[in-house]
Chains A and B, each alone.
Chain A
Amino acid sequence: MTGNWRERPAKVQIQESELPSSVPPQTGLTFNVWYNKWSQGQSGSSRFVNPYSLDSENDAGVTNGDKEKRIHFCLYFAKGMCCLGRKCKYLHHIPEADDFARLALHSSALDCFGREKFADYRDDMGGVGSFKKPNRVLYVGGVTGALNNKNLKAHQIENRIRFKFSKLGELDSVRYVENKNCAFVKFKLQCNAEFTKEAMGNTTLLIPTDKEWDQRKEGTGLLVKWANEDPNPAVRKRELEEQTQETLKAIKQLVANKEGAASQKRKVEHIEDELDSQVNRGEQRTIEDGSILDQALLNKLKQKRMVISNKKKAISVTVSKPNPVLTLVNQYSSDDD
């Protein structure tokens, strides 16, 4: 079932009854309810292979979120375990260029799943990421664990990574570092990197034709994190150049928008002037002719003007002083008590 995801409803990835327990597999003696973790005893590797994985071609489709024009993606869909399918309130497809534009316009502090970003990266470079600077590069580690210690040549591993990651968005580059056994995957769009980080984390690199496919859950899965900036001076130079070009483009767009807005404003003023002049003319006519028809026209014009001015007023009021317009509900925190 391939083809355009827009023409079909999203598939239910797993049934609700099959959903895994929220308690992770036992790695300690006691379970800490607060941190949702096992503690005490020998804590073995707490990482495990996600038994579900996203089948990007077949699972994508239209959801209720598309109808409600939401912009954030379903985190469960990315992990291949959304049990709602088309009833889900979040989007079920791979982020595309127009999604990226909408997300960027919406907020720079939220990722593509609607989670808040932070000023700094976590110490281990995992997690949601930072809003300070866009990052389109992912670090892919734990390759041996994801292959269940299967011996593969470097180019085979690179091809597998490229194959798996290219399904989740347009790639810019893939670089496999053989002696460190890790890879750096660069995407064209930032939201694709965010999506892929969740979708590919803790998944296996094995494919069904491998002998080890049946034992795939015994491995540890891929470790996908944010990449630090490339220290290579040549790459930095290129990136700086790219950034300058993008900034120039953005500047052009911004200036064009500003000029467009200014001309629109002028247009509105022009229309208002015309309205005024028409109103004046109307008044003159009423005085001259004393007919009722012109009075009706006058009222209409007045109403139109009212709408325009009201709109302006409403915007300015909500921006500067929301309190009188919006109802306030105080939720007292424990500090106040």
Chain B
Amino acid sequence: MNQASSELKICERCLPSGKNTPTLVRYPNGRECKLCTFPFDSYSYTSNHTAFHTIACPKCAAKNMICQVCLNDFEHGIPMHLRNAMKQLVNEDADSVIPKNDMMKRFVGLSSKQVAPLDINKLKNADSIRKWKVRELPYHSSINNTKGTFFLYNIDSTLTEPQIVSQLIVVTHNNLERENVVLHINPKFRIATLTFKRDAQLWAQKLISILPKFKTGTAVEKCYLTLRGNRIHLTACTPEELDTQNINLEEEWEGPVKKIISKDAQAIGSDSIKNNQKIKSKSKSKSKANSNPHTKSKSVRGRHRLSL
């Protein structure tokens, strides 16, 4: 019992800050612990006209790193549920929740599993560590806003990284070196990020000028790359630190993405119609054939070659 009393865990915020030391009253086995329901030596004191009681046993308090009086985090003074949410946000293991059943509470109370303390350094980068949500991805950004990083979507799941890179090299007339390209693919979400190791700005501008463009909305311009009958759409990767491997799996993420892609396809179709009308080279019926983007894009690329 004496040993237990020496283990009193009360945080600074609950203790009076002034010079007057309060009288601590001990009640041997006076209370039932709020967490494990075992009896423990309860203490009470008054400070600033308010009565304080220890309501959790010292063992539970030490284990969960909480204050015995306020049940907040011992160091930072935040509630347990908030601490838990913070930990989950930085992809750490969450603390075990207090079970509902009384027997289970006691069982957990007897175990000596220590809760991990909050890692402040990790919390500082909470914004970047946390998982990206599908709707936070830059589907709606304009290609002209790029700072050397591209965001690719509508990548067919059969395509591999070397295939896309080699197509890029072909598009740039073998000027682009393979070692210079950094491509991170997430096949599940069919997205990727593309950067260059050297001269990122320069290469980005070059790629924008080479690749065929289409407009969605008034100010949003995107590019696409055709590969084996599939169109890969390119936009600027606006949050540049985007990690394609670290994306939160949400239900129904596919619906809105499909909508965006079909909208893009429409935009490409209407753009190519306009172009064809200008050039007056092909009949409308052929350019309308959205179902076969391969042939159409060929014609568009031909136009680009002409303009170059």
Contact = CB atoms under 8 A, between A and B. Distances in A.
A331 B26 contact: yes
Contacts of A132: 80-81, 97-98
A333 B29 contact: yes
Nearest to A133: B81
Contacts of A108: 70-72, 79-80
Contacts of B79: 104, 108, 131, 134
Interface residues of B, number: 51
A70 B51 CA distance: 11
A22 to B, nearest CB: 23
B49 A322 contact: no
B70 A107 contact: yes
A101 B11 CA distance: 18
Contact of B89 (A110, A248, A255): A248
A136 to B, nearest CB: 13
Interface in A218-264: 243-244, 247-248, 250-251, 254-255, 258
A251 B53 CA distance: 29
A68 interface: yes
A181 interface: no
Interface string B96-115: 01101000010000000000
Summarize A's interface: helix, strand, loop or mixed: loop
Contact of B12 (A244, A319, A331, A336): A319
A191 B55 CA distance: 21
Contacts of B15: 318-319
A331 B81 contact: no
A255 B196 CA distance: 34
A25 to B, nearest CB: 33
A307 to B, nearest CB: 12
Interface of B: 5-6, 8, 10-15, 21-30, 34-35, 45, 48-50, 53, 55, 69-72, 76-82, 85-86, 89, 97-98, 100, 105, 120, 123-124, 126-127, 130
Interface of A: 68-72, 89, 104-110, 114, 116, 118-120, 131-134, 243-244, 247-248, 250-251, 254-255, 258, 315, 318-319, 321-323, 325-333, 335-336
